[in-house]
Structure 1
C-alpha cells in the first residue's frame, strides 16, 4: 500500500524536527535520490511502489553512484547535496527520511533493502541489527 505524500512528509518533518514541510521535502528528495543509487532490481521497484509517486520517481531515477557508499560516506554525500548542511545535520536528515522509509516499507522488505547495502545502514534506518 502506498503512503500519501502529505503523510510521508509529515512523518519526516516530525522526526527531523523541521520548521517547514519544504525542509522535510528537500531532505527526502536528496536522501531518496542517493538511496536509489544503492538499490537495484525488484527491491528498488518494491520500495518505490510503497512511496508517494513523486518520491518513487526520485528513487527510480537516482543520482549515479560509482560505488556503494558506506553509511558514513552516504551521510557525507547527503551533506554535500543539501545547501548549508554539516555532517551532523545530514545525519539527522538521513535518519528522519530513512526511518520513515523503514516504517513505510515494513520489516520484511527492509530486511531485503539492508541486504543490498553496506554494513551500518541499519542504524541509518533506525533499525539496529544484532551483530
Structure 2
C-alpha cells in the first residue's frame, strides 16, 4: 500500500469545508460507500498527479484545490520520466495494489471533481503539458490535430 500520500487520520486536524466538499464530490462520482474511501482515492490519485505535473500548471492547480488536497499534490517530487495516461494508471495500480479497473475508476472519480474545481481552461493547459492518453482520464476525448 502507498504510504506517502496518507497519514494517520487520528492525529490530524478536522478537514476544511472545502476538502469535505471535494470528498463528497469524489464520493458521489465514485459511488464510494464512505468518505474515508473517497479520501483514500483522492490522496492516491493526487499524489500520482503530483509526480507528473510541473510548472505553472502545478502551481495553478494547487491554488484551485483545498489546502489538504493541494498539499498532497505539491509534496510529491515530480518524476524524471513523464508517463502516458495508460502508464500513469498502471503506476497507480502498482503502488496501491488495486486492479487496473479499480484504479481507473478512482482516477476518473478524482479527476472529475478536480476538473470541476479547476475549470476547463486550466485542465486544457494541464492536458497540453502531459503526454498522450491523459485526456481520457479527465473524461475528455483524446483528439489529435489533423495533418
- What TM-score do you get using the length of structure 2 for normalisation? 0.81
Counterparts of 1:33-112 in structure 2, within 5 Å, are: 33-62=47-76, 64-83=78-97, 85-112=98-125
Cα distance per residue 1:51-103 (max 9 Å; x no partner): 110110111111552311111111111112224x1001000001111111111
The 1-side partners of 2:47 and 2:129 are apart by: 16
Which 4+ stretches in 1 moved above 3 angstroms? none
Q: Number of residue pairs matched? A: 128
Could you tell me which runs of 5 or more consecutive residues in structure 2 were left unpaired when the two chains were aligned.
Answer: 1-16
**Which is worse superposed, 88-97 or 37-46?**
37-46
Which is greater in Rg?
A: 2
SS in 2 for 1:4: helix
* CA RMSD between the two structures: 1.5
Tell me if structure 2 keeps the 8 A contact 1:27–1:82.
no
Could you tell me which runs of 5 or more consecutive residues in structure 1 were left unpaired when the two chains were aligned.
Answer: none
